Structure 1
Amino acid sequence: MAIETGFNRPLPAFSSLMLSRRQTLKFFALTGLMLTACEASGDRATLDTVDETLPDMNLTSTAFTANTAIPQKYTCDGQDLSPPLNWEAPPEGTQSLALIVDDPDAPIGTFVHWVVFDIPSDTRQIAEGRAPNGRFGKNDFGKQKYGGPCPPGGTHRYFFKLYALDTTLGLEAGVTKAKVLEAMEGHVLAQGELVGIYSRQR
């Protein structure tokens, strides 16, 4: 309802002004929360890429070399075995290792294939088809184990990422990759990355 003035010009009622102020305060509060969430997400995103300032643990595989095709036996079209992996000794002070395998080319966004954390720091390799000692997070197949490449179409890249940490994470088994990355923030001493590609034969 409007208030009439001597100049015959309506002014907004007081209650309308108060509502507007409340809405404005809510808008700024929501904006602040969104910015905070974006900043946190951005911090976690940096762990998804190689930090050139950190030592490289030279993650390799005897099954394929960097940026070449992953053999079918390590995919959903074969035996779906985890590939053999090897790496160099992590820096002094390393308390545990973490391994994440994902596909950033999936049509629904990055698809997670393997999450392992609290791997003993003296581990230097993972044998073919074997799981390392440690705790397993949940992949995007909904399982706590390795799930090989299984792209719906085209050629996809698969990032094998190893992290040396100055702590053990102590998370429960079955947590997501996002929870692992969040717990890793500020604890990464070194990294290793190996990228393989795969396209299904139809």
Structure 2
Amino acid sequence: MADEFRLASSNINHEGRLPRQYMGEGQGAKKNISPPLEWYNVPKGTKSLALIVQDIDAPEPSGPIVPFIIWVVVNIPPTLKGLPEGFSGKEEQMGGEYAGIKEGINDLKKHGWEAPKLPSHGHRIEFKLYALDDELHLGNKVTKDKVLDAIEGHVLGEAVLMATF
């Protein structure tokens, strides 16, 4: 298991809790910023990585539980070892290897990381990183559904990190 493709975050504590500053509620200037992520053992042959973050316990107003998309990121170079805290919205400024990364549209109809204000605590936040054998060319409106359609047959590995809020 030591060489397993995996995803981690230094800011998710040992109990798996995602700190308030990454959510749509909380104190201070660090409100609603993307958490730092690191990954390990990217599968051989990976040409790009794609990330989908969702609240898998989000209730629809009408009742059923429907995942709420918080963040979609595509064309992450496999040479990167992670994304720094507060990365969302800064890929252009950071330049270099980060410049080709594209953030998609979340369920709040915004680009980048945008966590909802949760009606209650205890929601599970799923971070899923896909290792792909190709780059994605999805145009300007990158969504979770477009990503999942495009990666069909191109996934070399998946790494999942679960956190609770």
TM bucket normalised to smaller:
0.7 to 0.9
5 Å-filtered alignment, 1:1-202, equals 56-65=4-13, 68-78=16-26, 79-108=31-60, 109-131=66-88, 133=98, 134-198=101-165
| Bigger RCO (CA 8 Å, 6+ sep) | 2
Cα pair 1:91 1:189 within 8 Å, conserved: yes
Structure 1 counterpart of 2:59, one-letter code: P
Q: Deviations over 1:141-167 (max 9, x none)?
A: 111100125312242000011111000
Structure 2 counterpart of 1:110, one-letter code: P
Of all paired residues, the percent bearing the same amino acid is 42
With normalisation by structure 1, the TM-score equals 0.67
RMSD: 1.7
Q: Count the aligned residue pairs.
A: 144
- Partner secondary structure for residue 73 of structure 2: strand
Structure 1 counterpart of 2:157, one-letter code: A
Compare the two structures and name the one with the higher helix fraction. Answer: 1
Cα pair 2:47 2:135 within 8 Å, conserved: yes
With normalisation by structure 2, the TM-score equals 0.81
Structure number with bigger Rg: 1
- Partner secondary structure for residue 7 of structure 2: coil
CA distance in 1, matches of 2:131, 2:15: 23
| Structure 1 unaligned spans of 5+ | 1-54
Divergent runs of 4+, >6 A: none
CA distance in 2, matches of 1:127, 1:64: 14
CA distance in 2, matches of 1:76, 1:98: 23
